[in-house]
Amino acid sequence: MSFIAALPKAELHVHLEGTLEPDEMFRLAARNGITLPWESTDALRALYSFTGLEHFLPLYFEGCKVLCRREDYYDLTAAYLRRAASEGVRRAEMFFGPQTFLDRDIPTADQLGGILDAIADARTDSGIDGALIVTAQRHRTEAAALELLEALRPFRDSILGIGLGSAEAGNPPSKFARFFAAARDEGYRLTCHAGEEGPPSYIREALDLCGVERIDHGYTAAQDPDLVARLADDGVPLTMCPLSNLRLQVTADLSTYPIAEFMKAGVLVTVNSDDPPYFGGYVNDNYAALQQHLGLGPQELAALARNSFLGSFADRSEIDRALAAVAEHEATAS
């Protein structure tokens, strides 16, 4: 674990709302006069055993109700970035879904303002480079996604990219092809959750119909050898989340997790935490789980760290500096 702890890495698949620790959830609830449906943090944690996304998401959205004011979003983001920096994360490209909070009439300026302030402060205080990817929720309509895009316009220069998340089953990427086209026209980087619970065809749709640059999850690509070859040939990054996939029963056993298979095929796979308190671990815990269950050694772990920077939307100069840091760490540890 010591090799992993100091290994420079990027995290490309983490939902800010999903980094809300139970203690912090109860603290924010008290601050905002909200009564949670659980009597204690232990009672809440006892529910962190899921049968799938359909079981997890209601609990996730219930927790989001404690985020009410600008300082809540600041505190949420600052806490995650401090934790990430302590785990060797040098760059974090974080997802956030404003639609959840717009439903409660919380201004976009309060939501994004708190997040962006925390990113700026963390860059100075912890040296971690944070960036924001705003996600639309696929259980809603494409019209709602386009409305979200319009609401983001005042913040365009501060947002790195646009993504698509939430319940995948029955909500194919093709449903949002016009949304992604509009986001591309605005100059955003594009990524899409696909192939978590959805079939390989959803990954193909995200690439072919939505023109995304990166696939979030991509687990089910393992069912389609031609798709795996295409991902490798085209250099499409996958932001995989082992502990999330285990907790949501996407995979039954990490000893058969396809990330090693993808690596051997030349796919640019990365390791991430998704919603860490809910799924049993932050990014280093995910690296450690792969080390334990797949027998990955320092060379493979360093390769995954390199992939995390190569798969990022960072400037090339920043990527090159990070790759040099990974190489230095690998050489020192050998």
Go through 278-305 and write b for each residue having 16 or more CB atoms within 10 A of its CB, e for each that does not: bbebbbbbbbbbbbebbebeeebbbebb
| Cα distance between residue 92 and residue 273, in whole Å | 11
Q: Looking at this protein, which amino acid is placed at residue 291? A: Q
Q: Which residues pair with 129 in a beta bridge?
A: 91
Query: Residue 95 and residue 274: Cα distance in Å, rounded?
Result: 9
User: Alpha-carbon distance 311 to 317, whole Å?
Assistant: 14
CA-wise closest residue to 31 among 70, 58, 60, 4:
70
Please count the CA atoms within 13 angstroms of the CA of 22 that sit on its side-chain side: 17
Out of 17, 21, 24, 196, the active site residue is: 196
Q: Is the alpha carbon torsion for 31, 34, 40, 41 positive or negative?
A: negative
87 is catalytic: no
- Compute how many other C-beta atoms are within 10 angstroms of the C-beta atom of residue 108: 17
Contact residues for 239 (Cβ-Cβ < 8 A; gap 6+): 12, 13, 191, 214, 215, 216, 217, 218, 270, 272, 311
Active site residues: 196
